[in-house]
A and B are shown apart, each in its own frame.
Chain A
Amino acid sequence: MDNQWFFLAANVVVWGGIIYYVYTIRQRNRALEKDLELLKETLSKEG
C-alpha cells in the first residue's frame, strides 16, 4: 500500500509538536531568568 506520506506526515506532526513544546518551555525559562535577574538588580540597588 502506497501510504508512506501519511506516515511521514504523522512523524512531522509528532516531532514538530514535541520540539515546539520544548521550545516554548525554553522561552518561558528565559523570561523567568530575565525576571529574576531584574529583581536581583533592583534589590541590590536598594541595598
Chain B
Amino acid sequence: MMNPDAVEENQEEGNILVWLTGLAFLAAMVAIFIYVPTEQTEGVVQRVMYFHVPSAWLSFFAFFIVFICSILFLWKKEREWDIYAHASAEIGVIFCSLVLITGPIWARPIWGAWWVWDARLTSTLILWIIYVAYLMLRTQSDAGSMRARYAAVLGIVGFLNIPFIHFSVLWWRTFHPPPKVITNEGIGKGMDPTMLATLGISLCAFTLLYFLLMGVRVRQEKLKDEIDRLKREKLYSA
C-alpha cells in the first residue's frame, strides 16, 4: 500500500527535479545557440553533437540501469527491480531512437549519405532492436512473472552489446569518428574547452531528464500495480 506522506515527499522532490531539469536545459540551449563557437569545417550542423552525444549517453546509461535491475530482479525476485528495469528500458529506447535519427541528419551534409553500414551505426541499430523487442515482450506476453524473467534475461543480454558499440570505432575503420571526450591523452583533451563545457551542460540536462522521467514512470507502474491488486481483491471478494 502507498504511504500518503511518502507520496507527498516524492512529489516535492519531483518538483525540485522539474525545476532543475528546466534550468539545465535552458542553460544548455543558451550554450548551444549562443555561447559555443561554430566549428570551422562542419559548420552549424556540428551543433547536432550537443543533442546526439547526450542522447547516446542517456540511452546507454538507461540500458545499464536495465542491466543492473534485471540482475537484481533475477537474484532477489522482487517486483520493484522489474519496475525499474521496465521504466529505464522505455526511456532508453526513446533516446536510442533519437540517436538513430539525429545521427543520419548530422551525417548527410558531412558524409554525403544518411546511413552507412559501419560497425558503430549497425551495432547501435542492433541495440535499439533488442530493447524494442524487450518492450514488445513486456506488452505481448501475458505470462506474469515468467514474462518479467524473460525480459530480465533479454535486458542483460542486450546490454552486452554496449561495450562492443563503444570500442567498434577503435577496432574497425568506420565512418563514425572515434571518441573525442575520453581519449588516450586524457578526458576532454581532444576538444575545444568551450565545446567541452557545452557538451557537459547538455549531458547534465539530459541526465536530469532521465531521473525525472524515471521517477514519473516508476510511480506510474507502482500505481498500476496497486490498481491491479485492488481489482483482483474485489474480484475474489465478489
Contacts and interface: CB of A to CB of B under 8 A. Distances in A.
Category for how many chain A residues contact B: 20 to 34
A29 B217 CA distance: 9
Interface in A1-47: 1-4, 6-7, 9-11, 13-14, 17-18, 21-22, 25, 28-29, 32, 35-36, 39, 42-43
A21 B42 contact: no
A30 B12 CA distance: 20
Given A10-B51, A13-B98, A13-B105, A3 B209 contact: no
A18 B47 CA distance: 18
Contact of B102 (A1, A14, A25, A29): A14
Interface stretch (B125-133, B137-145, B179-187, B222-230): B222-230
Q: Give chain A's interface secondary structure class.
A: helix
Contacts of B52: 10
Contacts of A6: 45, 48, 105-106, 108-109
A6 B55 CA distance: 17
B156 to A, nearest CB: 25
Contacts of A11: 51
Contacts of B216: 25, 29
A9 B209 CA distance: 21
Contacts of A7: 44-45, 47-48
A17 B216 CA distance: 17
24 contacts: A1-B44, A3-B109, A4-B43, A6-B45, A6-B109, A7-B44, A7-B45, A10-B48, A10-B52, A11-B51, A13-B101, A13-B105, A14-B102, A17-B97, A18-B209, A22-B213, A25-B213, A25-B217, A28-B220, A29-B216, A29-B220, A36-B227, A39-B231, A42-B234
